Amino acid sequence: MNKLLLSTLLLLLSISMNAQSKKTKDKNAIKKMCGCYEVTFNFAETFNYSKDENYKPSKTKVDKGLEWATLVEDGNNKISIQHLLQVGNPAEPMIIKHWRQDWLFQNKDFYTYNGDNNWTFEQKSKKEVKGQWTQKVYQVDDSPRYEGSGTWVHVDGKNYWENETTAPLPRREYTKRSDYNITLRGNRHEITSYGWVHDQDNSKIIREAGKEDVVLAKEKGYNTYVKVANSRCKAAADWWTTNTNKWQLVRNKWNEVYGRNKDLSLETKVDNKPLYKFLFSDKITEEKEMNAIIESFVK
């Protein structure tokens, strides 16, 4: 083997090993978001650009809770984490199925929120997502919420991921506000010595067909996840063990819907009930029934 060929092979091997090392660091950072956490949710409207002199900004909101984040899937190119809130009397807590986040390596298929419960399907090129991870965030009923792609950064002892993407109004807003219809979310997930931080710089957007987006206001979000003993989240962990099969069936159906690779529009309510009210019911346990309910929300 001549020296040039040997040098080329060694260079390619080195590049491959560095890429694998980077991917391993990425996966380790993502999985560090699992565990039991004392969470503080902080949101404050910072600036408003309304021309209405009677405009009232959203009130500053601070909430706390105990949250269990459990690993649902740990594959080579996909990591899935389910979040569960544990609230009420610690001796007899109530468990609330919360959001889910899936992380996909070099994902090319996206559902981008476009207002009014509509998601536009789009495919990016392999070049656009090279080395990146897509975070796909789902509602409590595993219907879509928002997703975006970015590169995990490991530098100067910091480990973080950033992205900006459109999303529906957060739950704290959509029952109170109708003067905007899209949240442009600036998301930063950073692993810290005490757990992790979800740092947000958001814009409240008014989107109308055929017009340029209008920024109504800006918002700061700063959610801290402080790790505590896993034993404190035992009730949530036990609840997930009991209910995991049911929600696997729900995810299976949604994966079939997402796999159609076309624009997605969802009903807000069917028979005057939102989807989560159906799926959270203990009476709904059969796969065929769950599939029919989910399909009834797909326009």
The domain that holds 202 is classified in CATH as: 2.40.128
Gap between the Cα atoms of 277 and 100, Å rounded: 17
82 in a domain, yes or no? yes
Q: What is the mean pLDDT of residues 67-96?
A: 96
At 202, is the pLDDT very low, low, confident or very high (cuts 50, 70, 90)?
very high
Instruction: Specify if 226 maps to a domain.
Output: yes
**Is 297 a member of any domain?**
no
**pLDDT for 98-137, tens place per residue?**
999 999 999 999 999 999 999 999 999 999 999 999 999 9
pLDDT at 235: 97
In this prediction, residue 8 has a pLDDT band, given cuts at 50, 70 and 90, of low
| Residue 203 in domain | yes
Q: What is the pLDDT of residue 90?
A: 87
Six token digits for residue 209: 């067909």
Q: Is the pLDDT of residue 11 over 60?
A: no
- Read off the pLDDT of residues 249-289 as tens digits, 9 standing for 90 and up: 999 999 999 999 999 999 999 999 999 999 999 999 999 99
Task: Tell me if 246 is assigned to some domain.
Answer: no
Q: What is the pLDDT of residues 209-228, one digit of tens each?
A: 999 999 999 999 999 999 99
pLDDT beyond 90 at 9: no
Asked if the structure places residue 129 within a domain, the reply is yes
243 lies in some domain: no
Instruction: Give residue 105's domain range.
Output: 22-233
Residue 278 pLDDT: 97
Q: How far is CA 157 from CA 2, 160, 177, in A?
A: 41, 10, 40
pLDDT of residue 239: 97
Average pLDDT over residues 156-185: 95
Encoded tokens for 24: 């391993």
263 phi, psi to nearest 5 deg: -50, 145
Residue 1's pLDDT is what?
61
Judged against a pLDDT cut of 80, whether residue 157 lies above it is answered with yes
> What was the pLDDT predicted at 17?
54
pLDDT (0 to 100) of residue 244: 97
What mean pLDDT is reported for the chain?
94
Mean pLDDT within 69-77: 97
Which range among 2-6, 123-127, 132-136, 230-234 shows the weakest confidence by mean pLDDT?
Answer: 2-6
Which residues pair with residue 113 across a beta bridge?
A: 119
pLDDT of residue 213: 97
Rounded mean pLDDT, 23-40:
98
Minimal CA–CA distance to 104: which of 125, 124, 79?
79
Please check the confidence at residue 15 and state whether its pLDDT lies above 70.
no
Is the sign of the CA dihedral 96, 30, 251, 256 positive or negative?
positive
CA-CA distance, 128 to 41, in Å (whole number)? 33
Evaluate whether 161 touches 149 at the Cβ level (below 8 Å). no
Q: Which residues are paired to 43 by β-bridges? A: 61, 221
Half-sphere exposure of 95 (CA within 13 A, CB side): 19
Q: What's the number of domains the chain is made of?
A: 1
pLDDT in tens, 186-200: 999 999 999 999 999
Please state the pTM of the whole predicted model.
Answer: 0.92
Residue 278 lies inside a defined structural domain of this protein? no
By the 8 A CB rule, do 72 and 83 touch? no
Mean pLDDT of 57-62: 96
pLDDT at 203 over 70: yes
Q: What is the pLDDT of residue 174?
A: 86
